[in-house]
Amino acid sequence: MRYLRGVHSLWCKLFLILCLSISTVWATEPSPARQSELRNLLKNDCGACHGLTLQGGMGPSLLPDSLIEKPDELLVTTILEGRKGTAMPPWQPFMTREEAAWLVAILRKGKN
């Protein structure tokens, strides 16, 4: 009987972990409408400094090959907090950390 309680407890814990994992994935995916807004922001606002094709301009290239050695957290923080002493503004008033992470994933895929 003790064995069965242990197995039941283990299954309950695994189920909880699975549910939390799924909800985290769903929570970080913006709605289709918000994705469209973020892609528009990327094209127009980011493109104003990083080039309309994101190959670089006043700001550095945002193409996948240019980002390969930069950690996601650095890129997310840069998007949200900007870079002091440069033209890169903080975008935190306009997006969440999850949305910035979604943009980083889009940039890494090169599907802007």
pLDDT tens-place values along the chain, 112 residues long: 555 555 455 454 544 444 443 433 444 789 999 999 999 999 999 999 999 999 999 999 999 999 999 999 999 999 999 999 999 999 999 999 999 999 999 999 997 7
Give dist(CA 97, CA 100) in Å, integer: 5
Largest Cα span, the chain: 69
Give dist(CA 36, CA 29) in Å, integer: 12
In this prediction the pTM is 0.73
Q: Specify the DSSP class assigned to residue 61.
A: P
pLDDT of residue 27: 47
Q: What token pair was written down for 3?
A: 């064995």
Give dist(CA 34, CA 37) in Å, integer: 5
